[in-house]
Amino acid sequence: MNKKKRHISTYLLPVIFCITGFCVSQNTNFENVLDAYNSSNKQDILIELKKIDTTKINKYDKATWLYYFADYNSIIDNHHLAYVYILKSKKLFKELKQYSDVKDCNVLLLGILNHQNNLEIDKKAIISELKSYALKKKDTLALAKVYQQIAIQYLDNNDGNETLKYFNLITNLYKLRKDTLEIAKCNMNIGTVYNTVFNNQDSALYYTKKAVPYLKKYKDYQNLAYNYNNQAQQYKLLKNCIEAEKYFLKADSIPLKGNISKSKVIFYENMSSLYLECKEYKKAALHFDKLIKLKDSINDTKQNIAISKIKEQYDNEKVRANSLEIESKRKQNFNLLIGAFAFILFGGTTAFLIQKNTKRKQKLAEQEKEIEKQKVETLLKDQELISIDAMIEGQEKERQRIANDLHDDLGGLMATVKLHFNVLKDKKTPELFDKTNTLLDEAYQKVRSIAHAKNSGVIAKQGLLKAIQNMADKVSVSNKIIINVIDHDLEDRLENSLELTIFRVIQELVTNIIKHAEATEAIIHLTNHEDSLNIMIEDNGKGFNPSQVTTKNKGMGISSIDKRVEHLNGTMTIESEINKGTTIIIDIPI
């Protein structure tokens, strides 16, 4: 898709808040989460989601939680994480046959995919599933989303007539519902079609401006910003630099609630292009610098290519400007040259001092980060000692209980049996023989009961799941990283030494995340498959190249972890990619 169309797909589907279908779930109250969506601080959403203990909620509520977590990541432009969690949510809803909620997942899923470029993911299956549901349930809102996707496909093929046909169908659906806000959005999209396909800027401006009163009335400032950006683009094509700049500045001045980085990148890219075309090079340079500062926060190859094109265009214009400036300087007198030299010297000195101050701040920040890591490592070690002490205490109590049972219960019973044998030796009566045999059976059953209790695995107060949850809670207290623990069918305790070894493995992996990953979130999954235990730990950190970190490389403690897993006859798989986080999967037979 060329650069012009990239803007189109962005504005056809801006931010989609699909908070419909399950505002309040079956058992868990999500009202505080919904209130957080209406706040101006996106961190409130994460805080409210964190308050819900996902280890104690039912399957439906867990699917709902995953949906909101996906939507939150979509809002903050973490679309790779949003994609992962919405698929998990959709899978659970399908298992529960909650097809209305599956529909909401599909709508959000399409919104996530439409915000990404160069994705080789076929959306036809998702659109087909959504269309089947919409026709079966006569759901006009879902059908409108389907028509919107079809319109985008025709637009990608430059088929303006078919695109307008489907946008008119969408408009009619919203007219039946008397939804003037959605009709206004359709007018925006129709204006985009006239702009990009038919190159009819007058019609484009007519439909785009037609939407403004309704966007203001319903306080839809997100789409109002996109509307102003579209108007600016249309004025730019009409060579009206003044009006184009006016509407670009309006778009940039509106506070956005979601997808801020990607929206601002498009605004600054368009504005720098406008200023270059209007030969206002200083303003072009200013917005180009803003563009550069945002590009590292978005992992989007196509956007990087677009930025490179603008940079190339900007550099070419800058070379021409420099040539003119050099020619002009040749005609200037000696005093101006002295002044220019003095300015360069002053600028160089200032830059040197700024660089020196920046390095000093970076060094202080690194020292503070190292101190924080040491605190977390100390916390993990303390947690391990507490867990080991608890297990040792449990073992000692178990030994003491067995000893008491042997002495008080079984000892007395065997003394009675011995007395009966002495009497049986003298009298040899059948009744006494039966009584003695019954006592022997009772003694045998008590021995079996003690042996069964010995192997029951109750050796400590907490157990593996509770110990891991405590560790995650203590680490999360630092506010540097949030760790969630999700278990599946892990109600029964495991053998003592196995629990201790697994705890140490997970603790070492969490330490690696804290020390190396620079992650803000991590999730520990524990799944009991009857004959095996599956452990999956995933984070959103900077990732690494797994081929460069082998079991022989002790830099991240992989060697000790691998040996412990191998000792348990288990397997370990590492999946990681630069800037896309890390997932470690461990399977241990139980």
Q: What is the pLDDT of residues 190-249, one digit of tens each?
A: 999 999 899 999 999 999 999 999 999 999 998 999 999 999 999 999 999 999 999 989
Query: What's the CA gap between 193 and 230, in Å, rounded?
Result: 11
**What is the pairing mode between strands 521-528 and 482-488?**
parallel
What residues form DSSP beta bridges with 522? 483, 539
Domain 478-589 matching CATH 3.30.565.10: the answer reads yes
Task: Spell 317-328 as b/e; 16+ CB within 10 A means b.
Answer: bbeeeeeeeeee
Q: How confident is the model at residue 372 (pLDDT cuts 50, 70, 90)?
A: confident
8 Å CB contact between 163 and 151: yes
Task: Spell 569-590 as b/e; 16+ CB within 10 A means b.
Answer: ebebebebeeeebbbbebbbee
Task: Examine the pLDDT at 537 and tell me if it is beyond 90.
Answer: yes
Domain range list for the chain: 13-116, 344-461, 478-589
Q: In what order do the strands lie in the sheet with 482-488?
A: 482-488, 521-528, 532-539, 582-589, 571-576
Mean pLDDT over 171-181 rounds to 90
Predicted TM-score (pTM) of the model is 0.42
* Structure tokens given for 117: 């470029």
Q: How far is CA 338 from the centre of its chain?
A: 56
Higher-confidence residue: 447 or 159?
159
Question: What one-character DSSP code corresponds to residue 453?
Answer: H
Query: What's the CA gap between 51 and 29, in Å, rounded?
Result: 11
Mean pLDDT over 8-34 rounds to 49
Query: What's the CA gap between 11 and 29, in Å, rounded?
Result: 34
Q: How confident is the model at residue 452 (pLDDT cuts 50, 70, 90)?
A: low
Distances (CA, A) of 523 to 109, 279, 358, 526, 528: 21, 51, 35, 10, 16
8 Å CB contact between 269 and 305: no
Whose tokens are 């959000």? That residue is: 108
Q: 523, 522, 557: which is closest to 541 by C-alpha?
A: 522
How many other CB atoms are found less than 10 A from the CB of residue 218? 14
Query: What's the CA gap between 428 and 425, in Å, rounded?
Result: 6
Query: DSSP letters of 291-313?
Result: HHHHHTT---HHHHHHHHHHHHH
